[in-house]
Amino acid sequence: MLSRVTKAVGVGVGVRLRRACNAAALLCSQPCMEKCPAAHVVFSRPYSSQKEKLDMSIFPVENIRNFSIIAHVDHGKSTLADRLLEITGTIAKTDQNKQVLDKLQVERERGITVKAQTASLFYSYEGMNYLLNLIDTPGHVDFSYEVSRSLSACQGVILVVDANEGIQAQTMANFYLAFEAQLAIIPVVNKIDLKNADPERVEKQIEKLFDISKDECIRISAKLGTNVEKVLQEVIEKVPPPSVNISDPLKALVFDSTFDHYRGVIANIALFGGEVQKGHKIVFAYTRKTYEVNEVGILTPNEQPTHKLYAGQVGYLIAGMKEVTEAQIGDTLYLHKQPVEPLPGFKSAKPMVFAGMYPVDQSEYNNLKSAIEKLTLNDSSVTIHRDNNLALGAGWRLGFLGLLHLEVFNQRLEQEYNASVILTAPTVPYKAVLSSAKLIKEYGKEEITVINPAEFPDKSSVSEYLEPTILGTIITPDDFIGKIITLCQTRRAVQKDMMYIDEHRVMLKYIFPLNEIVVDFYDALKSVSSGYASFDYEDAGYQAADLVKMDILLNGNSVEELGTVVHKDKAYAVGKAMCERLKDAIPRQLFEIAIQAALGSKVIARETVKAYRKNVLAKCYGGDITRKMKLLKRQAEGKKKMRKIGNVEVPKDAFISVLKRQSEK
């Protein structure tokens, strides 16, 4: 048992701490003696400027376990993590330990984990002291990139399933990630304290879907702490220690990195060989840059310095890196002049959903820019391209891993940076296989990716258009199958599989065009299934699609910023909806305005804004003039800000109402 002196909570470094684990969580225990029992002497010390360094050499590789917890949203992953942290004395046992590892406000509000966190736990079992490194993972498929990163540092996972809800779509996705990584899997059925809990049924599902004997499942209540100790013991029993050697030269995987304003880049590393300490000169295999190590330590879950980190251990390293790009996630570290074969690293995350982001007011551009830059420091999976929209001004086209990722990013901008933005409806990257020799020469390749509808090549120079698809997994009580199948069909989905996972629950698998789910599929699914169906998806490559570019015309003039790429079968519905929204948003003018959606020269939908027949204040004498002048001048000011399409004046709000995500419905 070791001393765990929580790091100082200065005003500045408070960034990485959370309020919820407030004073009581800042605890110290006495430096440990060999026979220290599992119970801990805990006392509260809110402020401590002292950093005692831990000696990590007392944990030989065979006493180390690196593991993750994976679960569907709300199945209790974070609660289980809180309990594990408490049992091992990592945090004090109080009522306030709620999702200790979920540091972001958005994570707490949505009950999701976005950013993987790490915590080292100390646990004594059968006379041995173990170092258990819990590497938290995000639960949603959008963040499967983060999950696979986390898993690469693990040898085992705890698979948590809700005893009431049973296996859900994300349980499936996460299981396969762990399974493919050949990790030891410890199945846990959580929430057995709930009235409707049916662990028997859930264990059968686990057996059927994952081929894991139901006898292996541990029934727990993370909330009450029931059987949680058993889970820790299973981790020690079932998860193999990392197979590494201290005598090898240093070889460490950077599996995450964060940015701290005061200390620069903090790299989370897993050591696959050797050891590292302050003063070591290290080299990043990818960048070839050399740094001197300032500090190493473990995460409990806050940074706690140690003398060294040894092979098999997981911790952090600070070495004077100023930018996150200097510590590439997936990169390998080695000692200067002792190069090693780099670890396989990661596939870089590929953005699947794009959306325009613009400041509500252009004067806010610089603030928003700096907020986005700061946010992307800790989320390298967001791609950024500067964009300029005639109506919305200067902004960016951002690429996200998925919809939730987009929403979370937006929410973090608003909550953490107080930025208010216009977010356009998400689009997906299409591809076109060019047939025109001229264009092929121009692009230097035959297959091009089209993100901006303005760059959508004409059918005459294209042999085939392609759209991204996903393999969607839906798990639902069988009462809703009919409605869900209908919903999927309207979204152009093709059924791939349908199986009962128990007497009442069905798993459906569909190939969906990605653009059919990016806007409101999840909400629609929740609404047709009274909230019971769960959904998850994975990339399923591109497929040929009958795509067309649809233009929006105002009195015959095309509105460039409203051009969209749609599937031919959906063109009418999309076009009609856009025309209707525009009709409501464009004010009457001195002439009639025809709002049309057109494919090439063919108009497919039309709405009309009638001309003003009367627009003059009836009564205007002495006393009314001041008020009237004010009103007119405000309107005149507004008129200046309108965008002219031909002679039609379009207020910015009209573009926003057409372009922005529709949260209702």
Partner 1 sequence: MRSCLTREAQTLIRLSQVQRISSVFFGGGTPSLASPLTIAAVLETVSRCAHLAADAEITLEANPTSAGASRLAGFRASGVNRLSIGIQSLDDVELRLLGRNHTADEALGTLEEAKKLFPGHTSVDLIFGLPGQSVSSWARGLEELLQLCDDHVSLYQLTLERGTSLFKQVQRGSLPVPKQEVVAEMYESAREMLRDVGFRQYEVSNFARNGALSTHNLSYWQGSQYIGIGPGAHGRFVPRAHGESLREARIQTLEPDSWMKEVLAFGHGTRKRTVLSQLEVLEEVLVLGLRTDTGITHQHWQQFATSLSLWDMFGSSEEVKELEDQGLLLLDDRGLRCSWKGLVVLDSLLLTLLNQLQQSWADRTAHRN
Q: Which of 41, 632, 646, 662 binds partner 1 (CB under 8 A)?
A: 632
Q: How many residues bind partner 1 (CB under 8 A)?
A: 27
Q: Check if the beta carbon of residue 628 is closer than 8 Å to that of residue 375.
A: no
Taking CA atoms, 378 is separated from 268, 356, 382, in Å, by 12, 20, 10
Backbone angles phi, psi at 92, to 5 degrees: -70, 150
**Which lies closer to partner 1 via its Cβ, residue 454 or residue 611?**
611
The CB-of-633 to partner 1 minimum distance in angstroms stands at 6
**Which lies closer to partner 1 via its Cβ, residue 262 or residue 621?**
621
**Which lies closer to partner 1 via its Cβ, residue 573 or residue 625?**
625
The CB-of-363 to partner 1 minimum distance in angstroms stands at 21
**Which lies closer to partner 1 via its Cβ, residue 551 or residue 607?**
607
Q: Which of 337, 347, 602, 640 binds partner 1 (CB under 8 A)?
A: 640
**Which lies closer to partner 1 via its Cβ, residue 489 or residue 635?**
635
**Which lies closer to partner 1 via its Cβ, residue 224 or residue 632?**
632
CB count within 10 Å of CB 344 equals: 10
The CB-of-389 to partner 1 minimum distance in angstroms stands at 24
> Restricting to residues 337-366, which ones interact with partner 1 according to CB under 8 A?
none
Q: Which of 37, 195, 622, 664 binds partner 1 (CB under 8 A)?
A: 622
530: DSSP letter: T
SS3 for 661?
A: coil
Alpha carbons within 13 angstroms on the beta-carbon side of residue 162 total: 20
Q: Is 47 in the site for partner 1 (CB under 8 A)?
A: no
**Which lies closer to partner 1 via its Cβ, residue 39 or residue 618?**
618
> Restricting to residues 645-664, which ones interact with partner 1 according to CB under 8 A?
647
**Which lies closer to partner 1 via its Cβ, residue 350 or residue 630?**
630
CB count within 10 Å of CB 663 equals: 8
Known binding-site residues equal 71-78, 136-140, 190-193
- Which of these segments, 55-63, 243-251, 435-443, 639-647, binds partner 1 (CB under 8 A)? 639-647
**Which residues are within 8 A (CB) of 282 and not within 5 positions of it... i.e. 6 or more apart?**
250, 276, 290, 291, 292, 293, 317, 319, 333, 334, 335, 336
The CB-of-584 to partner 1 minimum distance in angstroms stands at 15
- Which of these segments, 232-240, 507-515, 548-556, 632-640, binds partner 1 (CB under 8 A)? 632-640
The CB-of-629 to partner 1 minimum distance in angstroms stands at 6
Q: Which residues pair with 597 in a beta bridge?
A: 552, 605
Closest to 257 measured CA to CA, from 346, 370, 156: 346
Q: Is 628 in the site for partner 1 (CB under 8 A)?
A: yes
**Which lies closer to partner 1 via its Cβ, residue 47 or residue 621?**
621
SS3 for 317?
A: strand
Amino acid at 472: G
Q: Is 641 in the site for partner 1 (CB under 8 A)?
A: no
Taking CA atoms, 525 is separated from 144, 472, 475, in Å, by 21, 12, 11
Q: Which of 390, 544, 573, 629 binds partner 1 (CB under 8 A)?
A: 629
Alpha carbons within 13 angstroms on the beta-carbon side of residue 312 total: 21
Q: Check if the beta carbon of residue 662 is closer than 8 Å to that of residue 580.
A: no
| Per-residue interface string for the shown chain with partner 1, residues 459-498, x marking contact by CB under 8 A | ----------------------------------------
SS3 for 217?
A: coil
Q: Is 626 in the site for partner 1 (CB under 8 A)?
A: yes
Asked if omega into 426 is within 30° of 0 (cis), the reply is: no
The CB-of-646 to partner 1 minimum distance in angstroms stands at 11
Residue whose structure tokens are 């220290």:
36
Q: Is 635 in the site for partner 1 (CB under 8 A)?
A: yes
**Which lies closer to partner 1 via its Cβ, residue 438 or residue 640?**
640
The CB-of-562 to partner 1 minimum distance in angstroms stands at 24
The CB-of-636 to partner 1 minimum distance in angstroms stands at 4
The CB-of-592 to partner 1 minimum distance in angstroms stands at 12
Backbone angles phi, psi at 662, to 5 degrees: -90, 110
The CB-of-610 to partner 1 minimum distance in angstroms stands at 8
Q: Is 630 in the site for partner 1 (CB under 8 A)?
A: no
Q: Which residues pair with 388 in a beta bridge?
A: 394
Q: Check if the beta carbon of residue 472 is closer than 8 Å to that of residue 541.
A: no
| Per-residue interface string for the shown chain with partner 1, residues 589-618, x marking contact by CB under 8 A | xxx------------------x-xxxxxxx
- Which of these segments, 344-352, 370-378, 473-481, 628-636, binds partner 1 (CB under 8 A)? 628-636
Q: Which of 44, 490, 633, 662 binds partner 1 (CB under 8 A)?
A: 633
Q: Which of 363, 623, 664, 665 binds partner 1 (CB under 8 A)?
A: 623
Q: Based on C-alpha coordinates, what's the Rg of the chain?
A: 28
Q: Which of 636, 663, 664, 665 binds partner 1 (CB under 8 A)?
A: 636
- For the four alpha carbons of 575, 577, 578 and 583, in that order, the dihedral sign comes to positive
Q: Which helix (H) or strand (E) holds 417?
A: helix 403-417
**How are beta strands 281-284 and 332-335 bridged, if at all?**
antiparallel
The CB-of-148 to partner 1 minimum distance in angstroms stands at 57
Q: Which of 19, 386, 619, 665 binds partner 1 (CB under 8 A)?
A: 619
> Restricting to residues 206-265, which ones interact with partner 1 according to CB under 8 A?
none
SS3 for 299?
A: strand
**Which lies closer to partner 1 via its Cβ, residue 350 or residue 644?**
644
Alpha carbons within 13 angstroms on the beta-carbon side of residue 302 total: 20
Contacts 24+ apart (CB under 8 A), 567-573: 567/467, 567/492, 567/513, 567/515, 568/599, 569/492, 570/492, 571/597, 571/599, 571/604, 572/604, 572/605
Alpha carbons within 13 angstroms on the beta-carbon side of residue 590 total: 2
**Which lies closer to partner 1 via its Cβ, residue 45 or residue 633?**
633
Q: Is 128 in the site for partner 1 (CB under 8 A)?
A: no
Known binding-site residues for GTP equal 71-78, 136-140, 190-193
CA–CA separation, 374 and 511 (whole Å): 36
**Which lies closer to partner 1 via its Cβ, residue 11 or residue 636?**
636
> Restricting to residues 531-590, which ones interact with partner 1 according to CB under 8 A?
589-590
- For the four alpha carbons of 133, 138, 144 and 146, in that order, the dihedral sign comes to negative
* Residues within the interface to partner 1 (CB under 8 A): 589-591, 610, 612-623, 625-626, 628-629, 632-633, 635-636, 639-640, 647
